[in-house]
Amino acid sequence: MISIQAAEKSLNIKGKDFLTLADFSSEEIKGLLEKAKKLKDAHLQGKTSSPLKGKILGMIFEKSSTRTRVSFEAGMIQLGGHALYLNSQDLQLGRGESIADTAQVLSQYVDAIMIRTFSHEKIKELAHHATIPVINGLTDLYHPCQALADLLTIQEKKGTLEGQTLVYVGDGNNVAHSLMIASAKTGVNITIACPEGYEPDPSVLKISKEFAEQSGSEVKVSHNADEAVKDADAIYTDVWTSMGQEAENEQRLEDFAKYQVNEYLVQKAKKDFVFLHCLPAHRGEEVTAAVIDGSNSAVFQQAGNRLHVQKAVLSEIL
């Protein structure tokens, strides 16, 4: 057995909420990536340890998920702890109990809460009233755990993050927001290529640019996907219609038609570009099968890395 207290120095984030990467320094983000890589290496070598023995993670889902649920639950088990799946309709939240009351009650039973929900204000309120750490499994504003997995994948494929050029093609949504912040804090140049009217939230763009100035990288928004992907090291896309936007699907299919990641578009990137997608994917819409299933695609490595970054976050916070 090895100790999974693998980082040379503590990140000093024990007990801290994990709501957005904007709350973490560049050093802390890089430290989490280093921890995730060590945990992954140990996992692949079949080495185990139980630093979270006796710890319990409560997982609240108001949005369904494959990767988030399985990676967090498996991660807690692999670290020696336990995870409880809590569908919001099975909680008193579904019958009108306040977020504040729910937070205080769950704080008596579990050691941390992971929530996947719609409003970012809800997770902030939950964290405010909870006396235990709260982890953002996804909100309409941010998806920080996904961004860590994205960075780890780029780092593994390219050997470094600093100076890489990442182009996100699609909606300026929660995935784009966390990618912008994560990239800006780690020296990655990022461009969001999106149709007019689908730009990232102005406040998130503003803070991302500020972080980029500190790291010497760039954060840009473009309405021309062809120009944006020129010489890109990595190309990323997401579904055009996210959960909760189903009523907008027909309009979005029309608005995003010129933003499909296809064989023509990726020819403008570097030959060894990495294709990323947070999944689930709609082949034939935001990406063609030839790209997502092609030799440049790292989407399943990226999905697998969700497990290891989740374990890094859990082990450091708990």
Average the pLDDT over 59-63 and give the result. Answer: 95
Percent of the chain with pLDDT over 70: 97
Residue 8, pLDDT above cutoff 90: no
306 catalytic per annotation: yes
pLDDT, one tens digit per residue, over 93-104 is: 867 899 999 999
Note if the bond before 280 is cis, omega within 30 degrees: yes
The tokens for 102 are 């729910």
For the chain, counts of helices (H) and of strands (E): 12, 9
Of 120, 143, 252, 308, which one is the catalytic site residue? 143
**What pLDDT digit, counting tens, does each position of 189-230 carry?**
999 999 999 999 999 999 999 999 999 999 999 999 999 999
**Cβ(190)–Cβ(166) below 8 Å:** yes
Q: Is 137:163 a contact under the CB 8 Å cutoff?
A: no
pLDDT confidence of residue 3 = 41
**Structure confidence at residue 1 (pLDDT):** 35
> Mean pLDDT for the chain?
95
What's residue 92's pLDDT?
Answer: 87
How many Å apart are CA 279 and CA 277, to the nearest integer?
5
Set 146, 164, 302, 310: catalytic member: 146
Q: What is the pLDDT of residue 310?
A: 98
pLDDT digits (tens, 9 = 90+) for 146-191: 999 999 999 999 999 999 999 999 999 999 999 999 999 999 999 9
Strand blocks (E) in the chain = 56-61, 82-87, 112-116, 134-138, 165-169, 189-193, 219-222, 234-237, 274-277
Active-site annotation holds for 252: no
Burial of 129 (0-12, 13-18, 19+ CB in 10 A): middle
Residue 99: CB partners within 8 Å, gap ≥ 6? 93, 122, 125, 126, 129
Q: Residues 194, 201, 238, 302: which is the catalytic one? A: 238
| pLDDT for residue 5 | 42
Residue 6's pLDDT is what? 39
116 is catalytic: yes
Active-site annotation holder among 116, 177, 252, 308 = 116
Question: What single-letter amino acid sits at 45?
Answer: Q
* CA 79/CA 58 separation, integer angstroms: 15
Over the stretch 264-301, which tens digit does the pLDDT of each residue have? 999 999 999 999 999 999 999 999 999 999 999 999 99
For 185, the enclosing helix (H) or strand (E) is: helix 174-186
What's the whole-model pTM score? 0.95
Could you give all domains of the chain from N- to C-terminal order, each with its CATH number? 21-142+306-317 (3.40.50.1370), 146-303 (3.40.50.1370)
Q: Residue 13: which of 3, 24, 4 has the closest Cα?
A: 24
Does the annotation count 278 as an active-site position? yes
Active site residue 194: no
Q: Is 95 a catalytic residue?
A: no
> Which residues participate in the annotated binding site?
65-68, 92, 116, 143-146, 174, 238, 242-243, 278-279, 306
Task: Select which of 278, 302, 308, 310 is catalytic.
Answer: 278
Q: Which residues are annotated as a binding site for carbamoyl phosphate?
A: 65-68, 92, 116, 143-146, 278-279, 306
